[in-house]
Amino acid sequence: MGMNMNAVATQHGSILIVEDDPGTQADLAKIVHGVGYLPVCAESGESGLSSFMTLHPALVLLDMRLPGMDGLSVLREIRRRAPETMVIVVSGHADVGVVVKAMKLGAIDFLIKPVAPEDIALALSTALERPIQPTAAALQDRQSGGEEEAQDAVWTGGRFFARLQETIGQIADTNATVLLQGESGVGKGIVARLIHDRSSRRDRPFIKVNCAA
């Protein structure tokens, strides 16, 4: 007797994919199946948020440019309603301002299209093996009305992020070699992308090399 793929995938729960491009949506769904989760797709911000409230997924893959409600608005609502939810942004637009806003709102990763399937699978596996919970201070601030400070605390802690931004601005347009250190999943790739996008080389390719592979 054949085995139902959805039954296999639901052993770990579901992942919500909010993406309006059918081809990208199908590609992401295959990757989600591959890591043992059930993909559930939505084509707009409104339908994505509705599915999120019904589904309570383990993780959300979120595009930024969507019909109707944009990705940042969806992310803000997800963080407001369920701050423990992990969100990975997958966007074709690497605007520094959008990256910064998404990370401050609590996105745990920001992948720039086109993204290699193995990179998406790695990001999913890393996130799902090491779930990120909001700090107690973030939840307390949220309950007392400190919404903006709570959003900062979820990913960066606010003041640290400001110092990081300042450091990026100081080194971005130099010819110095920069070494970024930290555990897998802390955002080294995001910082590398921000440095590139603020440098005089921003119009040239940003090339990632997987040395381990």
User: What predicted TM-score, i.e. pTM, was given to this entire model?
Assistant: 0.62
Q: How confident is the model at residue 152 (pLDDT cuts 50, 70, 90)?
A: very low
Report the DSSP beta bridge partners of residue 67: none
Mean pLDDT value of segment 138-158: 42
Q: What percent of the chain has pLDDT above 90?
A: 30
Residues 6+ apart with CB under 8 A from 102: 64, 71, 72, 75, 89, 110
Confidence of residue 128 (pLDDT cuts 50, 70, 90): confident
CA gyration radius, the chain: 17
pLDDT band at 115 (very low <50, low <70, confident <90, very high): confident
Output 110 or 129, whichever has higher pLDDT: 110
> In 3-state terms, what secondary structure has residue 118?
helix
C-beta separation of 89 from 83 below 8 A: no
CATH assignment, 1-213? 3.40.50.2300
What ranges do the domains of the chain cover?
A: 1-213
Distances (CA, A) of 44 to 28, 106, 120, 135: 16, 20, 21, 30
Q: In this predicted structure, what is the pLDDT of residue 210?
A: 64
Residue 122 Cα to chain centre, angstroms: 13
DSSP codes, 167-196: HHHHHTTS---------TTSSHHHHHHHHH
**pLDDT exceeds 50 at position 7:** no
Amino acid 19: pLDDT: 96
Beta bridge partner(s), residue 14: 38
Apex 195 CA angle, 27 and 111, nearest 5: 10
CA 38 to chain centre: 18
CB neighbours of residue 50 within 10 Å: 12
* Distance, CA of 96 to CA of 197 (rounded, Å): 7
